[in-house]
Chain A
């Protein structure tokens, strides 16, 4: 009993309006709509609410219905093109074929169809480019099959009568006059519970929307509020937000900041000198070839100015480190060419920022120092699920007399843990500018294999001496960042990251590692 009372209190106005017209016999939605004097959408919504309260049962039958298309609506209102032509002919007796359009006010296609249709029905004759009427006046007055058919719509596809079939075929072959729509036919009847409720007094003084006026006048006192079905679905709402990659980048930045790192920023367009040469990448190294690097057409960059003291000259020392001779290193034993270093390109990694920072620290002498950067890098690669031509890298350096390999592993383990990677593997790797070098792998729970996360190492003397003036341990890393964040967002294809599908952006969850 109390339950029934609660149900009654939770009925919304449209439900209250709908229940009285329902019965234990099935009725169509159309019938219910008509009787309750509300629109179809409202009826459907009311039925949906009543169904969740188990007051009604519905039965849905799907069927195909022939209905008017866009042109069909128009033709029904005015007339079919063939009728337009027939009427004009009965008025003028003959029309030049080329004149149909103008005389009957039809477009090319309509004119063609009108002509063809009337010819097929033997209502006209064509002689020397002129159309003559051959129909009797009774034939003209009689409605054509197609006209009759259009007036009948909508009708069930199944219930098509034999005389309609020809008209249906004719009209179907013409564009947008008729269409076949899938229609759901819903019928509804009261359940046992529904019957009981329907017998109760549904008129009530329940408050729908609390208004400022009610509050002011205390009009709510002694009254009940209509109960809501708080489980019923609501329309979706989407908020504005930062791009999900930038949310992840902001988080990564905060990790480095919390560990006491300063941020480095710099240009995306760089000279080969800062991207390759300062980082001891041999001038014939394959990475410098066009297939990996985006070179900018027709530009030659500038190198840092040479100074008189060779030992302080970045250019001289870089040349020396490549050709052999810095701190007893053998170098690459190949001639180092300034012109190659001047080529202008899109940075292939953010490590050029670290090289520049080292050069700067040499003058400021502000170290121990810890720096990070997160930024876009570019590789001239064919794009696939695991390769993008633009991607982010998270760069970092620690410049400290006492820095060592264990600390390198320490910083990286900490970072990846905070990015959501508990289990990582450190293994040997090779990069021209670091020694020792390492690669971090994460165990992929789905693919059941180790997946590369990123590269790190300690800068070689061939890097530190030209840039910093002497060899000092410099921990350095530059893992690709895009791959790191995909796991959280459940993205398996890097191409999804910068696709900017607005619907997906709206629905993408927020970063919260």
Chain B
């Protein structure tokens, strides 16, 4: 979850006073308000809208939905002669792509610098998957000499003063000693060469995705012109990022300049392209999906509220998606844009008159019959976790080793339950203070490895029922009475057969059979098991595989 925290004063300069009405509007725009204080406004930004991760872009969206600002357009100035970056072929194996731009005519103050750094961090975090997909650098143009090189260097040969560092370090030292080196160093793990940005004066500007140079990579209040670059693994992704960043600086009043990126193969592209993208759609489809009737004019108005332009080209509806939007993949995305502009709270709920026949899962029905029959006998149903611990399973099934384990569980529970009775015994062990007799049951899935290779996952799931009685005077008969009653209610015949099972007292345990097939055990639980659970009263218990009964 990405929370964008904005300086309230700065935001109010752009959108006016934040009243509770405006707060609601912001939430209904798809950026739910998290908290508003005297100094700050915090909103949640969903992962599909990285473009909203700067105060300037966010304010633009708020103004647009309130009809105060028109659809944005961006003018790109042609690159000056030496505005180019040469991409060395050695970056291919490390961080193959880069995209960049220049913005001039800016004026920074403390708050603006803070918000730029904040945007950079937020983009790195969510959209950039913690700098893996995306590393973004912003440099004062005054400190660097064009043209630039995106290349690599040997970890021990790269040497520069990293951001906020006290002395020059080699690339390798930065990874182990610099704070961001330690945090993001794993992204360069196993690389023989580290990527670097270098200017014509031989100065190292940065070592992506780790850190900028302190000398050339720090924006101050004196900065008026900036160079922006980002690097990663997908050209498309990087170009989108540059567009988001550039649109933010444009809102600050900056002039955008394109740059040439010359790759090793002699390819050449200009970055960024801030033209809006055309997407054809059918107004009918928008209305049909939303269940409303908007005419072309209303559709246009609503799209514009979302910052999206509209044109009718020879009778065809064309949406003009602004360059900074990265989330419009298909015309279906325009449906939501219109819905948000129209206002989610303005939709009249409707239940359609279509006839469908309801049907409960037959197994669920039988389970309810079983549950109600047992509750009628005064038994309490419990509801416990599917995940348990090896130790718990071993308290009863001491030679069991076929555990189905989950990876890196954040709780102590890290294996799937192989039976239900283990959970019931755990419940008894935790409830020695509750009044006896305690009579409990539970139904649910138990898990085993699929040795016949029949399942998609390699795991067999079966429905199981366990009943357990705990009391000073509990015995086999008490439980057998319940079993008799249950099968009578289900109108199923069962038989018991003497059995050997170490979990129960010898001579007081039986196999439960239906149609000659073994479906479970019933008996008085062996004292050995009870002492493993530190349970001090006798227990009678049964467990049945419900599979056969439910089908």
User: Hey, which bits of chain A sit against chain B, CB under 8 A?
Assistant: 239-243, 245-246, 250, 253, 256-265, 267-271, 284, 286, 290-291, 294-302, 327-331, 333-334, 344, 346, 368-370, 376, 378, 380-383, 389-390, 400, 402-407, 409-411, 413-414, 425-430, 435-439, 458, 460-462, 473, 497-498, 500-503, 505-506
Contact = CB atoms under 8 A, between A and B. Distances in A.
A140 to B, nearest CB: 43
Nearest to B424: A500
For the complex of A and B, 4 pairs with smallest distance between CB atoms = A404-B291, A430-B46, A428-B30, A436-B336
B399 interface: no
Contacts of A500: 382-384, 427, 430-431
A268 B439 contact: no
Contacts of B129: 284, 286
Nearest to B441: A240
Contacts, number: 261
24 contacts: A240-B379, A243-B382, A243-B442, A246-B383, A253-B364, A264-B361, A268-B386, A268-B461, A269-B447, A330-B329, A333-B236, A344-B458, A376-B386, A378-B387, A383-B410, A402-B288, A406-B290, A406-B350, A407-B352, A430-B46, A439-B32, A502-B438, A503-B431, A506-B380
A458 B350 CA distance: 15
B284 interface: no
Interface in B376-405: 376-387, 404-405
A377 to B, nearest CB: 11
Interface string B335-356: 1100110001101111110111
Contact of B371 (A242, A256, A389, A497): A242
Interface string B39-74: 000000011110000000000000000000000000
Contact of B349 (A298, A389, A410): A410
A462 B333 CA distance: 12
A383 to B, nearest CB: 6
Given A257-B360, A265-B361, A294-B406, A437 B336 contact: yes
A231 to B, nearest CB: 25
Most buried by A among B333, B382, B385, B456: B456
A460 B360 contact: no
Contacts of A430: 30, 46-49
B322 to A, nearest CB: 16
Contacts of B457: 267, 269-271, 296, 299, 301-302, 344
Most buried by A among B28, B350, B361, B434: B350
Contact of A389 (B368, B404, B413, B455): B413
A271 B459 CA distance: 11
A265 B413 CA distance: 25
Interface of B: 27-30, 32, 46-49, 129, 133, 234, 236-237, 288-292, 329-333, 335-336, 339-340, 344-345, 347-352, 354-361, 363-364, 368, 371-372, 374-387, 404-411, 413, 416, 427, 430-431, 433-435, 438-440, 442, 445, 447, 455-459, 461
A432 B180 CA distance: 31
Contacts of A270: 456-457
Given A243-B382, A262-B356, A502-B380, A271 B387 contact: no
B404 A330 contact: no
A447 to B, nearest CB: 13
Given A404-B291, A405-B290, A428-B30, A369 B375 contact: no
A502 B381 CA distance: 10
Contacts of A438: 344
